[in-house]
Chains A and B, each alone.
Chain A
């Protein structure tokens, strides 16, 4: 009996001492040193309460979190600064509130100089940028680059001619987003070319905008275009004007202009949301020639239905190169095409690998 009791005592002692709980503090990788990762596993103890504390500047441990799970990872991002060392303590309590076990850890927060999670993005950026820059500069050799016909842009001359014949104005809408959107800038570059033609034909141009920053840029673009066309006196500073920042207020304003002024040609080039069809259908009803272009996939069907010509996605961004015929700009389009070819190849390889349950490529390309 005594032997059995001794054995049992030894067994429980070993069991108790072999119970270990894991508690580590690690610097969060790929960040600016503003977070610490706390990892714990107290599943052997199954405590009633787990308290995580952090030492303050006076040396006192203050509770920062009551952890509800027996194991897990907690990210402490509260007032963590790069280069500083932090002390953590994890305490396990039983139902009565007695301390079962306690562990502490220290860690220095560090900021990284390279985010390793974005390595695939970096590789793709380098390949794509290199391809575009290579073709931009190789275009210097003077070799003629082929670019397929974009009807929407070819129609510009026809629209301006029609407006001149009919004595009606041309309406240009550079989208409803601000200057920080690339589509707005693409729209404004086309406005520059259009305004030049309008200035040559001496036709009236109307550019209502819904962002103040776009207003000042559009004014500058149109004024320069008139100057370049050698007809600066024809420039009317009030042809570019602000309506409102409000989406549907702007739509109401533009619709009013379409109904009253009956423009011969409407250009909707930029970023659009739900207003796209309201604008395009009103233009259709007034009998204008309509050209639209956007990179908003959900609005493209509406423009395709209601407009005569539609620039789909990348065509909007290619417009400037297409209209200027500048070999440098056309070269960049060729670079983009190479990028597209690379994407298609990577996609195909990815699909094949996934079919065979190999996830290397997918994992590499995932940003998480």
Chain B
């Protein structure tokens, strides 16, 4: 690759740093528009009957927290608002902590929600695709105990839940593999149950093909913008909406640099043309 004379990368890094850091300190509060895929996820939750049980899998770790955590928070808030029971699982070891953190954050807003009745954390299970497949056969065999080591048959929420047929929909908050793709391939393709998910902005193009007419995925929350949109739909503004200011400004800085890069290129090209004419 031809290495042209360019701006020192460190200038770009500095401006990006300032562009991301400043809006997080000084809040701007720019409005957010709702897109189709986010609306689909919202409607999936809205159309789920009260008292149904859903499965949310936390397939990410702290590295993807800024994008995926606000999604999980808004989604769980929405489920609790609609009296939907939630079963948490994690295909990533650190996903368990992510789920715990979200529940702790929401606890003051939903003091009546009881562990084992309205929600349960089944913890982490290794195996990815194999585990997801096995849940379809017998969930209680794969997760005989919750994350604290208590038998799950003791909890009222698990009485009627044996496999995906007893789950209204599955939602995966995913930062890679195992993640949304694996859930789609098993839950949607094999068991024909509604499946949805949230992913980081950078992996969205690879997941978007699954949001299709066959509804392999029912909507998708892709990146921080989708998280901000969902926060707005649920009516509780959080870190994603304020993070959107930072993202917007960072994008504008990148666009400015692209413009500078192009101006430099055209100036150089014109100069070369003139030199040739001489």
Query: Quick check: do A and B touch in the complex, using CB within 8 A?
Result: yes
Asked whether A77 and B206 contact (CB < 8 A) given A177-B177, A274-B176, A367-B189, the answer is: no
Residue pair B165, A297 in contact (C-beta under 8 Å):
no
Instruction: Determine the main DSSP class of B at the interface with A.
Output: loop
A366 at the interface (CB under 8 A from B): yes
B120 CB to nearest chain A CB (Å): 18
Residue pair A274, B200 in contact (C-beta under 8 Å):
yes
Give chain A residues whose Cβ lies under 8 Å from the Cβ of B176. Answer: 247, 273-274
- A65–B206 Cα distance when bound, in Å, is 40
A244 at the interface (CB under 8 A from B): no
Give chain A residues whose Cβ lies under 8 Å from the Cβ of B205. Answer: 297-298
Give chain A residues whose Cβ lies under 8 Å from the Cβ of B81. Answer: none
Q: Mark B185-215, 1 if CB is under 8 A from A, else 0.
A: 0000100100000001011111000000010
Q: Mark B121-137, 1 if CB is under 8 A from A, else 0.
A: 00000000000000001
A139 CB to nearest chain B CB (Å): 34
B162 at the interface (CB under 8 A from A): yes
Give chain A residues whose Cβ lies under 8 Å from the Cβ of B1. Answer: 284, 307-308
A78 at the interface (CB under 8 A from B): yes
A202 at the interface (CB under 8 A from B): no
Asked whether A298 and B203 contact (CB < 8 A) given A75-B165, A247-B63, A285-B9, the answer is: yes
- A252–B200 Cα distance when bound, in Å, is 20
Q: Mark A250-286, 1 if CB is under 8 A from B, else 0.
A: 0000000000000000000000011000000000110
Give chain A residues whose Cβ lies under 8 Å from the Cβ of B204. Answer: 298
B163 at the interface (CB under 8 A from A): yes
Q: How many residues of A contact B (CB 8 A)?
A: 22
B46 at the interface (CB under 8 A from A): no
**Nearest CB in chain A to that of B179: its residue:** A273
Residue pair B137, A77 in contact (C-beta under 8 Å):
yes
Give chain A residues whose Cβ lies under 8 Å from the Cβ of B162. Answer: 77-78
A355 CB to nearest chain B CB (Å): 14
Give chain A residues whose Cβ lies under 8 Å from the Cβ of B200. Answer: 274
- A307–B1 Cα distance when bound, in Å, is 7
Asked whether A34 and B177 contact (CB < 8 A) given A77-B163, A273-B203, A367-B189, the answer is: no
A296 at the interface (CB under 8 A from B): yes
Q: Mark B143-178, 1 if CB is under 8 A from A, else 0.
A: 000000000000000001011010000000001110
B101 at the interface (CB under 8 A from A): no
- A308–B163 Cα distance when bound, in Å, is 49
Q: Mark B254-276, 1 if CB is under 8 A from A, else 0.
A: 00000000000000000000000
**Nearest CB in chain B to that of A296: its residue:** B206
Give chain B residues whose Cβ lies under 8 Å from the Cβ of A298. Answer: 202-206
- A75–B175 Cα distance when bound, in Å, is 32
Asked whether A248 and B9 contact (CB < 8 A) given A273-B176, A308-B1, the answer is: no
Give chain B residues whose Cβ lies under 8 Å from the Cβ of A3. Answer: none
- A248–B138 Cα distance when bound, in Å, is 34
- A75–B203 Cα distance when bound, in Å, is 35
Residue pair B138, A77 in contact (C-beta under 8 Å):
yes
Residue pair B138, A274 in contact (C-beta under 8 Å):
no
- A366–B216 Cα distance when bound, in Å, is 11
**Nearest CB in chain B to that of A297: its residue:** B206
Give chain B residues whose Cβ lies under 8 Å from the Cβ of A297. Answer: 205-206
A368 at the interface (CB under 8 A from B): yes
Can you list 10 A-B contacts with CB-CB less than 8 angstroms, sorted by A residue number? A77-B138, A77-B162, A247-B63, A273-B176, A274-B200, A274-B203, A285-B9, A297-B206, A298-B204, A298-B205
Where the two chains meet, the residues of B that have a C-beta atom closer than 8 Å to any C-beta of A are: 1, 3, 9, 63, 137-138, 160, 162-163, 165, 175-177, 189, 192, 200, 202-206, 214
Where the two chains meet, the residues of A that have a C-beta atom closer than 8 Å to any C-beta of B are: 34, 65, 74-75, 77-78, 177, 247-248, 273-274, 284-285, 287, 296-298, 307-308, 366-368
Leading 7 A-B pairs by shortest Cβ distance: A298-B206, A75-B165, A273-B176, A298-B205, A78-B162, A308-B1, A297-B206
